[in-house]
Amino acid sequence: MMMETSGGTYLNTAAMASPVGIARILQVVFGCTTFSLVIHQGGFSAAYGTFCMFVWCFCFAVTMFIITCEFTRFHSCLNISWGNFTAAFAMLATLMSVTAAVIYPLYFAQLRCYPISCKVRDFRVAASVFAGLLFVTYAVEVFLTRARPGQVTSYMATVSGLLKIVQAFVACIIFGALVNDSQYSNYVATQWCVAVYSFCFVVTVVVVAFNVTGKTATLWCPFERFVVIYTFMAILMYVSAAVIWPVFCFDSKYGSPGRPDQCSKGQCPWDSQLVIAIFTYVNLVLYTVDLAYSQRIRFVSHP
């Protein structure tokens, strides 16, 4: 019996040899090296260390999944928009990896051996270096896959799409500060701010989900019009939060203009309130830039 040899190849070797493919291979190498160094001798503890380990393991696992799907062409069997998924993950991984690359050296790496051994110090410094390289490789992938002017590509690869990931990530930072004894329940006005953060986060995640699943064409209204209207609403809501939150947290009538002397480091509501105020303005700027760029792109439902 003769086996038929006609037809295309099943393994996509070109995907591995492309610049994006090489960047993903380096991501796997650097990610595996980072958490291996930490597990072997570097060590981690508390919530900060656990977060860093989660980031490195999560990014490693998803990147391995993407590489496998690209190499075997399995992604063609998945009921998702592959271009939107990979672009969204690359942006998310960039944000998560840069956060871990800053947190781990800040809390664990040090130049002196005391009170840890020099061997542990060396492993922690090495892990910090590879964590930084991991961030660079994800940033390179975002740079390589981003949409160019006049190019028909996935929505999540456009500036507007990438900003959606950043907006959701910033909202997660705000939520983290909210639950860290921010005392937001003291006033109805600050509770409104929490409602603003929650609503905008949920809708942004829904926008990303519809693009990743490729379901934008099934909506009852043009998706690009919905995105523009929502972004404009988000700007108005964040403007209200940007005014209300500082007033009810830092005005002497309701809160404290300066950091109270009796506040201990890491357990001060004023610190959390300051973080929330800063990132409220950050997200306000991001939504404003998003609205500006959304006027310059043409939305393609199925890239």
- Residues 6+ away with beta carbon under 8 Å from 216: 155, 210, 223, 299, 301
pLDDT digits (tens, 9 = 90+) for 13-32: 888 889 999 999 999 999 99
Among the residue ranges 29-33, 46-50, 99-103, 164-168, the one predicted with the least confidence is 46-50
Q: Which domain holds residue 166?
A: 151-256+264-303
pLDDT digits (tens, 9 = 90+) for 250-265: 888 877 777 777 777 6
CB-CB contact of 245 with 203 (8 Å): no
Eight-class DSSP state of 186: G
Question: Residue 76: which pLDDT band, with cuts at 50, 70 and 90?
Answer: confident
Answer whether residue 3 is part of any domain: no
pLDDT at 36: 94
pLDDT at 30: 97
| Boundary of a domain, candidates 145, 176, 191 | 145
Answer whether residue 2 is part of any domain: no
- The CA distance from 276 to 172, in Å, is 10
**One domain, residues 27 and 166:** no
Answer whether residue 128 is part of any domain: yes
Half-sphere exposure of 10 (CA within 13 A, CB side): 5
| Boundary of a domain, candidates 121, 145, 169 | 145
Answer whether residue 162 is part of any domain: yes
In the predicted structure, residue 2 carries a pLDDT above the cut 70: no
H-run or E-run covering 246? helix 223-250
**One domain, residues 90 and 177:** no
**One domain, residues 131 and 174:** no
pLDDT at 212: 92
- Single-letter code of the amino acid located at 67: I
**One domain, residues 130 and 190:** no
Average confidence score pLDDT of the chain: 87
pLDDT at 73: 87
| Boundary of a domain, candidates 124, 145, 166 | 145
**One domain, residues 59 and 111:** yes
pLDDT at 1: 44
Number of domains in the chain: 2
SS (H, E, C) 85-130: HHHHHHHHHHHHHHHHHHHHHHHCCCCCCCCCCHHHHHHHHHHHHH
- The CA distance from 177 to 268, in Å, is 11
In the predicted structure, residue 282 carries a pLDDT above the cut 80: yes
Among the residue ranges 161-165, 169-173, 196-200, 253-257, the one predicted with the least confidence is 253-257
Question: Residue 302: which pLDDT band, with cuts at 50, 70 and 90?
Answer: very low
CA 77 to chain CA centroid, Å, is: 26
- The CA distance from 160 to 236, in Å, is 18
Answer whether residue 191 is part of any domain: yes
